[in-house]
Amino acid sequence: MALDAHRIPEEPYYRPVAGEVALFEAAYAARMPMMLKGPTGCGKTRFIEHMAWRLGRPLVTVACHEDMTASDLVGRFLLDPGGTVWHDGPLTQAVRHGAICYLDEIVEARQDTTVVIHPLTDARRILPLEKRNELVQAHPDFQLVISYNPGYQSVLKDLKESTKQRFAAIEFGYPDAAVEAEIVAHESGVAAGTAALLVRIAASSRNLKGHGLQEGVSTRMLIHAGRLAAQGIALETACRIALVLPITDDADVRDAFSAAVSAAI
Ligand code: ADP
């Protein structure tokens, strides 16, 4: 069957933080276009994987980038020995066969690429394939989901107002300390006490946000540090290579963050 490769066979671990699972189920029931909003590494991708599994839908994920064209999403004619043959792009496949299509970091895409999703997000639920002169009516199970990190927004890189207003949003952030520690312990294999310590270190980096750091340490980074510690690397070293070094190139900020790590350990 089409899109079999995009089915999620086993339950992806997802620790609910607020009422997001029920909210998303309601949104899916209405086939409402959804925006998952929040900083990088806080669980948006894991959440949509979990929801696709829970709803029994295939998940087609596209990592958006600035060189991405509308053809990369909808498809193109390609030359093969028999002549030119149309190949559906990932968005078209999801639309035809009833998948959830997740456009990750949609702001990275150029605005002229983003507009191809517009007719899919209103009552028409259609995807025009101009080159093929075809209007694809979305499969009843199709849903469009985008992720959006408001922290990166600038005048040059932001979603058009006309795009934003087509989506309902669920907000993601760093969970409460106890919940985040539970996630870090589960994903990295470190003991609960070490996970709690890593989360406290993250909190100190999150206070540096706006004072030299563009973003605080994400849950993803804590899991990296935890995995190294679980391999037997000393915790301070693990924090240095998984948290301090990647997050900033500014020597002063790095020293301040290193000092906070040492103090915590
Ligand atoms: P995003 O898509 O927001 O950038 P991810 O979904 O890739 O972030 O999250 C990074 C990692 O953090 C995931 O691979 C997962 O291990 C972990 N994670 C974050 N939040 C949760 C959560 N609520 N439940 C389970 N794992 C989580």
Of 35-44, 105-114, 145-154, 156-165, the range with the highest mean pLDDT is 35-44
What is the whole-number distance in angstroms between the Cα of residue 68 and the centre of ligand 1? 25
User: Rounded mean pLDDT of the chain?
Assistant: 93
Predicted confidence at residue 161, as pLDDT, reads 87
Predicted confidence at residue 208, as pLDDT, reads 78
175-221 pLDDT per residue, tens:
999 999 999 999 999 999 999 999 999 998 888 777 778 888 999 99
Rounded CA-CA distance 28/106 in Å is: 20
Pocket of ligand 1 (CB under 6 A): 13-15, 17, 40-46, 183, 187, 219-220, 223
What is the whole-number distance in angstroms between the Cα of residue 47 and the centre of ligand 1? 7
Atom of ligand 1 nearest to the CA of 13: 25
Average pLDDT over residues 86-110: 95
Rounded CA-CA distance 247/201 in Å is: 13
Handedness of CA 22, 23, 26, 27 (dihedral sign): negative
Nearest CA to 256 out of 239, 244, 243 is that of 244
Average pLDDT over residues 69-94: 94
Q: Give the pLDDT band of residue 1 (cuts 50, 70, 90).
A: low
Mutate to test the pocket of ligand 1, among 106, 152, 220, 227 (most ligand atoms within 8 A of CB): 220
Predicted confidence at residue 216, as pLDDT, reads 87
Check pLDDT > 70 for residue 21: yes
Check pLDDT > 80 for residue 59: yes
What is the whole-number distance in angstroms between the Cα of residue 83 and the centre of ligand 1? 44
Q: Give the pLDDT band of residue 48 (cuts 50, 70, 90).
A: very high
Atom of ligand 1 nearest to the CA of 42: 3
Check pLDDT > 90 for residue 168: yes
Predicted confidence at residue 210, as pLDDT, reads 76
Nearest CA to ligand 1 atom 20: 43
Predicted confidence at residue 153, as pLDDT, reads 59
pTM of the model: 0.94
Check pLDDT > 70 for residue 43: yes
Predicted confidence at residue 15, as pLDDT, reads 97
Average pLDDT over residues 117-129: 95
